Chains A and B, each alone.
Chain A
């Protein structure tokens, strides 16, 4: 049960780390790489707080072993803003529409919604609900989150 050397490209930066096989990707990001933007709520796939992008696709980092994704690309919430720090359209929409209060669920929502709008730039109301149905928020209420998703789609359309 020796540690295993893996290489991950996280937010465009190549990172090398040695982890035991049982290290969850969420813990690897937070503890080994110091990227605490990825939040951990339930550790069994239900809350969605830990969602990150794996080769561009949203996945639960608490249901992924870091060793399994050796050699792959990860984007965390820290990687969504532009290199100069300018917030992405999804991040701006969440601030504008009060899509967050305590912010605990927000990293998971931002990653999920970023991928959702990339694949479907103008989702219907129902598609938005289906897209975010796997993410739980304990404090904002979903009205403003849904509003944020539609607003993000608008901003992206205006800016494209």
Chain B
């Protein structure tokens, strides 16, 4: 099928884009990479009256490594972020996650910020933002606000981005010393959305004992499910930590749904296995780092 007709806006500056969005109100949508929006338009699952195309706003194609974290502009494509050595050195979880997002050709067009606003509970980047405690900067005509991840994902395919608002960038904090991350998932085919996935973060103290361990689960609830397992790991060195009870703690916290690809029980099983693997891998990275 083809998209329903819409009014197409091609702003050349951020200010113009915000004016277009303000004018369109609730009937407007932002078009970034289009890798999620255009399938929905093609299938007529969405039919906005106005599309505000931000592909000419090269001022938003930015990728900055700041002292506290990585700031990704709204027009930075997945591929650009994935290939950046500076980003990989500063915040390795981004590359670890991006390699699991769709296929390389889709990543040439899709944007990191678009993926966050799209807020698919099966997507990798929302879990990354939630795990790291990042934020999204939203602008509307005359005002800007920075929304923390915990308040940004409000439901399946729902984010805090309101009508007339443009997400201008996302901020992914850096890790403190002696921290490590990992991303593990199971998909039916490489590049497909994950049946279940885990982003994990482990931090060690000066004596190399675990002082923080948490995961964000993909496809395990309406939004990325964040679980702190520091207690379950037992403040021990990674070699003697109780990873199994940490994995069980994660399983107890999730509410996976059943669909044609997997039952809820199978998803719960996968989450447990993946949480154990990802936490161990993150702990190894923390020991190396």
Contact = CB atoms under 8 A, between A and B. Distances in A.
Interface of A: 1, 4, 20-22, 24, 27, 43-45, 48, 51, 54, 57-60, 62-65, 67-68, 70, 112, 129-131, 133-134
Given A59-B108, A65-B31, 10 more contacts: A21-B8, A22-B8, A24-B2, A43-B42, A44-B43, A48-B105, A60-B35, A63-B109, A64-B109, A131-B104
Interface size class of B (residues with CB under 8 A): 20 to 34
B105 A59 contact: yes
B253 interface: no
Contacts, number: 87
Q: Is the interface of B mostly helix, strand, loop or mixed?
A: loop
Contacts of B189: 133
Contact of B106 (A21, A24, A60, A67): A60
Contact of A22 (B2, B102, B105): B2
Q: Is the interface of A mostly helix, strand, loop or mixed?
A: mixed
Interface of B: 1-8, 10, 31, 34-35, 38-39, 41-43, 51, 53, 55, 79, 102-106, 108-109, 189-191
Contacts of A59: 105, 108-109
Question: Of A51, A65, A67, which is in contact with the most chain B CB atoms at under 10 Å from its CB?
Answer: A65
A48 B108 CA distance: 13
Contacts of B41: 22
13 contacts: A21-B51, A22-B4, A22-B8, A43-B1, A43-B42, A45-B38, A48-B105, A58-B104, A63-B38, A63-B106, A133-B103, A133-B191, A134-B102
B108 A58 contact: yes
B39 A63 contact: yes
B57 to A, nearest CB: 12
Contacts of A112: 105
